[in-house]
Structures are given as C-alpha cells and as structure tokens.
Chain A
C-alpha cells in the first residue's frame, strides 16, 4: 500500500512541479546589500578619557619617577586616546612595598567575610558602570562592542561575585587542609581581554587574602586604570591592589623583584619561558597561562550547521586574539567539501569594521605589530602551498584590519598548522578515524583547549579522555564561567584559573 502510493506520488510531483531549477554553477547564496544595515554606533562621546594616566600605587594615582609617558591609541582609528605612565624599577619597588605594607597591616588580618564585602562591592560597581567600561574596552583594544558588552563585562562582574563568595568559606574549600594567603602577588596580563584578565587575576588573589601588583599590557591599560578608580570608589584599603603600567621592562622589574611571593602571567609562550627562567631557583610560586593552537574536531555525524557556528565562534571571536581559539580545524574527510563550502558562505556574513558599531562582528586588530605578525604567518602558509579564502569587504581607511580568513590544503608540516597566529585565521585539515583525530590534535607543543563535534555521546567521552588539553568543549566552543577552571598542558602553561582550582593557586595549603 505504502509503496504503491509512493510510486504514484513521485510521478505526480514531476508532472505538476512548478519549480524552476537553478543550474549547478549558479547555486550560490547571494549575500548582497538588498537590505543593508544602517550604522548603529554605540555612544562613546558620553565617556571622557583623561589625557594622561598615572600609576596606581598605595591607593593613589602618582606620576612615574622617570617622568616618562607613552601613547595609547585606538587601533580602529590610529588616533591617540591618552598617554600612560611608564613605570621603572623604582616605581615597581614602591608598588611592591605598598602591597607588602597593606598585606602585613590590613588585608591578611582582615576576616574573610570583610574581604568578601569589598569584592561584592567592586562587582556591583562594575555592573553599574558596565556600559562605560565596555565602550572604553572597545576603544582601547579594538574588540567589538557586541563582545565587550555581552561577553567581557558580564564575565568580569561574575568573577568578582564568584570569588567574593569564597572569601569567607576558604576553610571549607579544601577539606583536611588549612588555607592561608601567599603574600604579595605580581600579575602580568595580556591585551586580548584586558579587564577580564584583570578580574581573573585580582578576584581570587584578594579573596584569599593576598595583595596585588598588576601590570596590564602596554596597548590596553586604560580599563585597568579605570578599575583602579572603582577600587577607590569601593574604598578598598590602600595598597591592596597596585597597578603599574609599562612595557616589557616594567614586567621584568616586577618578575625579578625579590619581595614577590607569587607570579601569575598570561601571555605569550616566549615571554612565559623567560619568566620561568627568571623565577627558577627562587621561592616564588608561579602560574603561567600561555599560547595555544587548539584543535576543533569535526566528525561526520556532527550537527553540522551548529558545528559551523562553533567553528566560526571558535576562531573569529575577538578577532582570533584568544589563546584558546580553535585555530586548527580537523574535519573528517567525508564532509570536508561540505564544511569548506559552508565556511565560505558563513564568513561572508561576518561584518568587519568600526568596533563601536553594534552590528560589527570582527573589530580591529589590536596593534600594528600584531597585524604584521598575522600577515607574515598567513603569507608563509600561502608560500608553503595552502589556499587562502578571505572575505572581500570595504575596510576603514585608518586602523588595523584583517578580514576573516581560512587556509585549506594545510598539512602538519606547515607553519600555520603549529604556530599560534593569534588572529582571525583558521587552518583547515582532515582526518579519517577518531584515533587519527586525537593523534593529530595532540601532535603539537601546546595543549590549552580543544573542541569535539559529534552527535554521539560515547565518542565525546572517548575523545575527551585522549585529548591533552586543559579545556575541552563538546558541541560548543568558547564557553567561560567563573566556576570552571581554565589552563593548559605542555607549552600552554601550568596552574589553573577559575573555580576552586583557581582559588587553590592563591593559597598555601597546610
């Protein structure tokens, strides 16, 4: 009965079909400007950036002893935003001394529930000023307002709230052990998530009773110094957090300062190695969160359209300036051509341009130097025989831009398969079996993160147990939460930030 009906209906469909068939060569999606979005810039004029920024030491803004300042520009316009104080070894010393005094006299003695109150207060002020902080973050770093507003700032507040909650519960956090603070902590953070990295570092350190000397990256210091004003507003005791700005020499002075008890660094593997060398033989504790070259593994049975979204988010989120970016895509051979076609269509709808425009998906590259590095590495990929696919779009005349791109025909021997590009560039490779997938994924000096895409739960568990990466996402990517630890294997560093593990990194456990 069923079969009979099927036969009849098939004929009928042909007989009555009114569909026009588009020839194979013309079967393309047309992402044109039939209905184009008008500019939708976030208001940036309401927020004034001071023309000069000082160091934040002992609860006050003070001029650097050298009298030297450096410029900070908006990478989307190349216009000068402000000048920032350059701290030298003497400034670092006074910051460390201030932190030591605050540690000895106030912070380490304060009951946890009191420390928690300060952290809650800071979290609430951050929420109140979230819009302003998001706009500053976007102007200073080039990231899109969509991301600074919807990702960075909510997470910044969430980290302070989360660790505020631990401050009076430390003795329950580690059963059988007695936690005590470490002392003065030196923290050096990168330019890709300036405020968020400050929150990741400062919140757990303060919750445990440590005091802090923080050095933000030289291209993105403005929001860290705005955070210092929030500390003042919250009446955080003087010297509990000190913020010193400057380039590599300032960081080196902090790393080598003898009165630091612990160092926490997030940044490049190259600098991380140098810090590890400097710290070797001292009593300083160290955690490093370094580079990555994450494998995003796409199986044939994956929910394909959602996996494509995950791949897109994995590599183009924050212009690819993400240490856990899914920069190596491994596709099972059977779906390779489909996936490449879908990627090609999808990147056409990514909007590149003014980061303050609420519809922008890809903002500005953080600095001219980073843009050069991305270009050089992509060129090496092309020179070595990979094929580059990149969107063609109009770019602003000024600023640093790199439209979203991916490389196909990449093999393990290519530089772009093993070196971190730290930009919106994806290297696409293939595999045949699950064994080959994790072998190839692990065949790299890094091990920060990975992604697995399959509809089959058992396959997820198998892969997760074989992959050597600190964070593994299944059927999603780039999901962050203060309760979840984050950190790497191998050259991606050691130690964990976030969650209970992140708390343990700032305690002595006896």
Chain B
C-alpha cells in the first residue's frame, strides 16, 4: 500500500513528538460541497472601519512580494526590494512586507540591495520551480547554492508526477531531503493544488509536506490555474490545525496566486482567524504570495486615511 509508508512516517513522527495517541486512521476525507460552502461563508463577514484598516495593514505585513519572470533583472529586483521595505510613505504607518520572493539567480542581487540585517526576508523558489520535473540531486544542489547566496526562505515544489502516480513516499523523501539542504533557511512546500485537483489530494499532500519537515505549506506556484482558492486554503488550514494538535508543531500557511484585491485578502484573514485563531495571524505563520495585491491594499489604506480614492499612478510599482 502506498499510504502505509506515510502511516509509518506518521507513527515515527508521533513517537518523536511524544504525541498522546497513535492512530492508524487514513488522512481525513474532504467533502467538496460543504468545504466550498464553508469557505464562502468567510467572505460574508463585514469588515468595516478600524477592523478594516488593521486587517489591511496586517495583510501588507504578510505579503511575499513576488516577481517570477524570465525577464527579471537585478534592476527589477531592486524596485521590488525597495517597495517591500517601505510600501508607501511613512505617514500612513504601514509595515514592511514579510519578504521578497524571487528566482535563485536574483537572490544575491536582492541580498546586496537589502543588506545583511534587513527586516525583509529573501524567499527564493527552488527545486526546479515551477514544474519540479528535475532529478533530486540537481534540485538539492540548487537549494544549497540558493541558501548560500543569501536566501532566508526556500519555496520548493513537490513532485506532482510522483504524487499523482501514487508514489507518496518519493514526495515525502524529496521534501525531507530538501529540508536538510535548506540548513537554517525556512522551507515552504508548494503543493501546486491546481494540478492535484481534488480536495482529498490537497489534504493528503498537506499531511505529507508537514510530516516531511516543511515549515510552511503553500498552495501554488502562480504558474498554474487555478492558483490559491479559499476552499483549498481552508483544507490546508484544517490540516495544519490537526497536525498541531497531534504534534504540537505550528506549521505556516501561504496561499499564492490569484489574490489580487483587498476584499479577497480580508476574507483569507477571516478564515485564518476563525480556523486557526490568533496564533496564526502574523507574518511568521501566514503569508500571501502576491504581486498586484499590495497596491490594492495600499489604495484602501490611503482611502481610509484621506477619505478618497487615488488613481493607480499614486502608488509606486513594485
């Protein structure tokens, strides 16, 4: 059985973390209709006035400001870094973004711009992003070199081919090996949920990623549609919650791709608040992978302060 390897790992993991109960139950199933209904309910919360401003600022602080294009240059990355450090004029009292997220080749340029003790982390996609269709040894070498260049966080992709073929052990092993190659860097595991398709797959992949040592689980590369959705993120948050109860370890969550508006971002924050609670409502435990979202957040923050909407040209491009 393919799952038995996972169960074995769970069992060993449970022993390691001195969990109270070892259960030989499969990963919980997910009902599509009800999970989509529940996810939609968070969007119905009405976030007004002070709660809105606080939520928008929190969302800015959780952004991994991202550029992942073949045409990225050191100059473009410099724009990104500057934007991440100070997203808008100081009078609006907006925090820095959590990180910039770039390709491995851009890490040393970002490090040069940000300096050694920047408040903004450098996240790099790695392990043959976005497809993951590369041999493990080149993936690991890529990770080691990217960390050596100055990356604080590694956003790896799982081997979807292995997952869909049922080789969950291979998925597990690659994540575990990547975690080791990361050394001190934090590891985010991208499941690419748009290619896993079913919520049951998302739940199982989340379990594997957490068991194998991921610090964060992340929905998408942004290169596949659909990217992050509310129900997919909810399934992953529920997996994080159950893993926390079983092991005592808090895993972080990063929805990425497709989150472009303040309204969407606030709905995600409501979902985190009401699924995992306050301990996850901070940039150490929750991130948005986004590029266009930040300026929409800033536009709303500026409107709350000034009372009127400004055009897009009043907000600097990342």
Contacts and interface: CB of A to CB of B under 8 A. Distances in A.
Contacts of A29: 241, 276-277, 279
B316 interface: no
B281 interface: yes
B114 interface: no
Interface string A386-400: 000000000000000
B186 A18 contact: yes
Interface in A289-337: 301-307, 309-310
Contacts of B274: 31, 349
Contact of B17 (A15, A21, A39, A359): A21
A35 B182 CA distance: 33
Interface of A: 2, 5-6, 8-10, 12-24, 26-27, 29-40, 146, 150, 301-307, 309-310, 341, 349, 358-359, 455, 475-476
B176 A9 contact: yes
Interface stretch (B51-59, B71-79, B91-99): B51-59
A24 to B, nearest CB: 6
Q: Determine the main DSSP class of B at the interface with A.
A: helix
A5 B245 CA distance: 28
B143 to A, nearest CB: 12
Contacts of A33: 278
Contacts of B134: none
Given A31-B278, A455-B29, A306 B48 contact: no
A38 B48 contact: yes
A80 to B, nearest CB: 28
A5 B249 contact: no
Contact of B278 (A6, A19, A34, A310): A34
A410 B30 CA distance: 29
A21 B170 CA distance: 26
Given A303-B28, A475-B34, A30 B213 contact: no
A383 to B, nearest CB: 33
Contact of B247 (A15, A21, A34, A455): A21
22 contacts: A5-B173, A6-B169, A12-B213, A13-B212, A15-B180, A16-B213, A20-B250, A21-B248, A21-B249, A22-B244, A22-B248, A23-B248, A26-B248, A29-B241, A29-B276, A39-B48, A305-B28, A306-B34, A309-B38, A358-B44, A359-B45, A455-B31
A305 to B, nearest CB: 5
B183 A10 contact: no
A67 to B, nearest CB: 44
Contacts of B244: 22, 27
A28 to B, nearest CB: 8
A30 B279 CA distance: 6
Given A16-B182, A34-B281, 17 more contacts: A2-B170, A2-B173, A6-B8, A6-B169, A13-B212, A16-B180, A19-B249, A33-B278, A35-B58, A35-B278, A36-B51, A37-B47, A38-B50, A38-B51, A39-B48, A40-B46, A302-B29
Interface residues of B, number: 62
A13 B177 CA distance: 8
Q: Which of B17, B29, B49 counts the most chain A CB atoms within 10 A?
A: B29
Contacts of B38: 306, 309
Contacts of A23: 248
A392 to B, nearest CB: 16
A419 B35 CA distance: 32
Contacts of A359: 45-46
B30 A24 contact: no
Contacts of B49: 38
B34 A310 contact: yes
Interface string B5-42: 10011001000111110000000111101110110000
Contacts of A18: 184, 186, 215
Nearest to B278: A34
A19 B31 contact: no
Given A303-B34, A306-B35, A20 B20 contact: no
A13 B34 contact: no
Nearest to A456: B29
Contact of B31 (A2, A16, A306): A306
B212 A9 contact: yes
Contacts of A10: 9, 12, 176
A303 B30 contact: yes
Nearest to B237: A305
Contacts of A31: 273-274, 277-278
A18 B170 CA distance: 22
